[in-house]
Amino acid sequence: MSRPIPFVKMHGAGNDFVLFDGIRNELPRDLSKLAREIADRHFGVGFDQMLVVRPSESADFCMDIYNADGSQVEMCANGIRAFYKYLRDAEHTSADEIGVETLGGIVRPQWAGQGRVKVDMGLPVLIPEKIPTTLATGAGPVLEVPIELPDGLWPEAPSGLRASSISIGNPHCIIQVDEIDSVPLDRVGPALEHHVAFPNRVNVEFIEIKSRDRIRQRTWERGTGETLACGSGACAVAVASMLRGVVDREIAIELRGGELEIAWADKNSSIWMTGPATTVFDGVWAVDDDA
């Protein structure tokens, strides 16, 4: 015996989500299983992350985030924009700013009008132990540290590959190259995601700096694969590049699914991310009553 539960398909700059409302609907107990089933783009609905609305005791709402492999993760910056748009569309809130509890901390999205959301992403985590990464020790930041890949994995790789690492509530590995389209991300992404230097796995961003105010980015997200956009990754890319002095403090990040604006005034200030949030369609998914 099965029962239908409603969902909403959304995306933020091409980073796509299936959202379930756990306040209005009774959801199955095993949400990891639900995520794996509905994630399949041929036999399910397909998504980069599954988002779940829940009540919160420490903020206005709580957002649970599941990858396509069923693993739960700390933060999704494109997801928080879609999540906030859903809350407004569903009339859970009419506030122009709310607090959202995530495993990575409380995040505060603001309505920027015309389907755009501005998010206070808080301070970046620069201490290696807290990212976590073993690429460096001490207080950080972790910038341009040599990193090795398995022999033969990427024969055309630039010599002396170097990585920076930042946490934006979730860990990121940033590598600058001359041309991001030449990176065999389907091979290199998994190797870096599971690299010994990242005990909790890592999201991987390859970047191409176009100017002082513009960067191109490709992302391999842990537990999902290559995605068209990654908001927390864009924030990590911006912070690492600003700390290296190669870009200004307000920049645009070009992603395969769209563009995000990132601003970080100084090391004592929050990172601000502004970008789109779009509803694609509503649907229902059948779950077993004993799920």
DSSP letter at 201 equals: -
1 within 8 A of 288, measured Cβ to Cβ: yes
Phi, psi of 240 (to 5 degrees): -60, -40
DSSP per-residue letters across 38-106: HH-TTTS---SEEEEEE--SSSSEEEEEEETTS-B-S--HHHHHHHHHHHHHTTS---SB--EEETTEE
Instruction: Choose the catalytic residue: 62, 173, 230, 235.
Output: 230
Peptide bond into 141 cis (omega under 30): yes
Active-site residue, 76 included: yes
DSSP sequence for 103-170: TTEEEEEEEEETTEEEEE--PPB--GGGTT-SS--TT--EEEEE----TTS-TTPPSS-EEEEEESSS
* Token pair for 101: 């509890």
Q: Single out the catalytic residue among 62, 76, 173, 235.
A: 76
Q: How far is CA 80 from CA 194, 206, 235, in A?
A: 26, 23, 14
- How far is 20 from 40, CA to CA, in rounded Å? 16
**Bond preceding residue 28 cis, omega within 30 of 0:** no
How far apart, in Å, are the Cα atoms of 99 and each of 60, 70, 89? 5, 25, 17
How many whole angstroms separate alpha carbon 100 and alpha carbon 61?
5
Q: Which residues are catalytic?
A: 76, 230
